[in-house]
Amino acid sequence: MNQTQFSIRPAVAGDMDAIRWLVKTGRINPTGLDWRRFVVAISHQGEVIGCGQIKPHRDGSQELASIVVHPDWRERGVARSLITHLCAAHPGDLYLMCRAELGPMYEKFGFRRLVPEEMPRYFQRISRLAGLLEVLRSEGVRLLVMKRDGGGGP
């Protein structure tokens, strides 16, 4: 992991526009964007180049969410650093929802794929949104729900 080109820090209110832009550009879920839950990756020029959060749900589950990196900074370890930082700061059970092709990457962080019966209520409800899933399937997108058991990796 090469963090000589960027650093990770908790987000501040002034980062919200950059977080929204990254989420929109990354075409990921734009709900629940509260800057107080985010960490951001910052270039040495002070630019927000990536972000991620731990999003709490009413059923008590916590989700690793909103992991996105500026297109110019991809393939440089930014996402890996964000995920590592967030996982270390939240050692309990963590869930995530991602495109199926990203599953192998998250497995490297100790996440495993879940079947519907293993999912907390929030993720079961999301998985059942037939209309959304049909739209995604028509675009060739499959979603996974994954879990990292408390304590970290395997």
Q: Is the pLDDT of residue 152 over 60?
A: no
Closest CA to 54 of 80, 77, 83: 83
Q: What is the DSSP string of 46-75?
A: S-EEEEEEEEE-TTS-EEEEEEEE-GGGTT
Q: 37: domain range?
A: 6-148
34-88 residue pLDDT tens: 999 999 999 999 999 999 999 999 999 999 999 999 999 999 999 999 999 999 9
The two three-digit tokens of residue 117, written as one number = 């019966």
Model pTM score: 0.86
User: Is 42 within the bounds of a domain?
Assistant: yes
Q: How far apart are CA 54 and CA 43, in angstroms?
A: 22
What is the pLDDT, as a whole number, of residue 25? 94
User: Is 67 within the bounds of a domain?
Assistant: yes
Cβ contact 84:138 at 8 Å: no
Q: How far apart are CA 111 and CA 87, in angstroms?
A: 11
Kindly list the distances between the CA atom of residue 116 and the CA atoms of 100, 120, 127, in Å, as whole numbers in the listed order.
15, 9, 8
The structural domain count of the chain equals: 1
User: Is 1 within the bounds of a domain?
Assistant: no
107-150 residue pLDDT tens: 999 999 998 889 998 888 877 764 455 555 556 667 889 999 98
User: Is 71 within the bounds of a domain?
Assistant: yes
- CATH code of the domain covering residue 32: 3.40.630.30
Kindly give, in sequence order, each residue whose CB lies less than 8 Å from that of residue 84, ignoring residues fewer than 6 positions away.
1, 109
Work out the number of other CB atoms within 10 angstroms of the CB of residue 72: 9
